[in-house]
Chains A and B, each alone.
Chain A
Amino acid sequence: MSSALMIVGATLGALGAEPNQKPQDLSALSEMDSKYATVLSSSLNSGRHNLYAGHRSHSSHRSHSSHRSHSSGSGSSYRSYTPPATYTPPAPARTTPAPAPRPAPIRAPVIPTPRQSLSAPTTSAPTKKTYRASERDLSELGGQRLSTEPVDSQTSLGADDASTPDASPFNNNFWPTQPAQPPRPDADELRMLIMRVQAALYSKGLDPGAIDGVMSQKTQTALRTFQRRYGLQVTGTMTTPTLDALGVRL
Chain B
Amino acid sequence: MKFRPRDAFRASAGYQLLPMRFRRLPWDGDRVFVSSMAGDWLTMPAAAFQAFVSHELPDDSPYLADLQARHLAVVDVSKSSLAPLLSQYRSRKSYLMGGPALHIFVVSLRCHHTCSYCQVSRQGVNAQAFDLADSPAELAVERLFDWPSPELTIEFQGGEPLLNFEQVMRITRLIVARNQHEGRALRFVLASTLHDLTEEQLDFLAEHRFKLSTSLDGPEWLHNANRPRPGRDSYRRTIEGIERGRRRLGEDAVSALTTLTKLSLTVPEEIIDEYRKLGLHSISLRPLSPYGFATKTARRTGYATSDYLTFYKRAFLHLVAVNHSGYAMDESYAALLLSQLFTSFGHGYVDLRSPSGAGLGAVIYDYDGRVYPSDEARMLAAMGDPTWCLGDVSQPVSAWLESPAMASVLRAGVAEALPTCSDCAYVPLCGADPVEHYARQRDTVGHRPTSDFCQRNMGLFDFLLERFEKGSAEDQRLMQRWAMRQDSVEEAIHVAA
Contacts and interface: CB of A to CB of B under 8 A. Distances in A.
Do A and B interact directly, with beta carbons closer than 8 Å? yes
B55 A16 contact: yes
Contacts of A19: 14, 55
A17 B328 CA distance: 50
B89 A4 contact: yes
Interface string B57-97: 00000000000000000100100111100111111001001
A37 B88 CA distance: 8
Most chain B Cβ neighbours within 10 Å, of A4, A9, A19: A4
A39 B86 CA distance: 9
B344 interface: yes
Contact of A11 (B53, B74, B97, B416): B416
Nearest to A28: B77
Contact of A37 (B17, B19, B77, B90): B90
Contacts of A91: none
A188 B77 CA distance: 70
Given A1-B89, A8-B37, A41-B91, A36 B83 contact: yes
Contact of A29 (B80, B89, B345, B486): B80
Contacts of A11: 19, 21, 416, 422-423
Interface in B334-373: 344-346
Interface residues of A, number: 28
Interface residues of B, number: 34
B183 to A, nearest CB: 16
A13 interface: yes
A43 to B, nearest CB: 12
Contact of B345 (A5, A9, A30, A41): A41
A36 B81 contact: yes
A21 B37 CA distance: 20
Interface of A: 1, 4-5, 7-9, 11-13, 15-16, 18-21, 25-26, 29-30, 33-34, 36-42
22 contacts: A4-B89, A8-B19, A8-B37, A8-B416, A9-B37, A12-B20, A15-B20, A16-B17, A16-B53, A21-B14, A25-B16, A26-B77, A29-B74, A29-B77, A33-B81, A33-B86, A36-B86, A37-B90, A38-B90, A39-B91, A39-B97, A42-B486
Query: Which 5 pairs of residues, A with B, have the shortest CB-CB distance?
Result: A37-B86, A36-B83, A40-B91, A33-B82, A33-B83
Interface of B: 13-14, 16-21, 37, 53-55, 74, 77, 80-83, 86-91, 94, 97, 344-346, 416-417, 422-423, 486
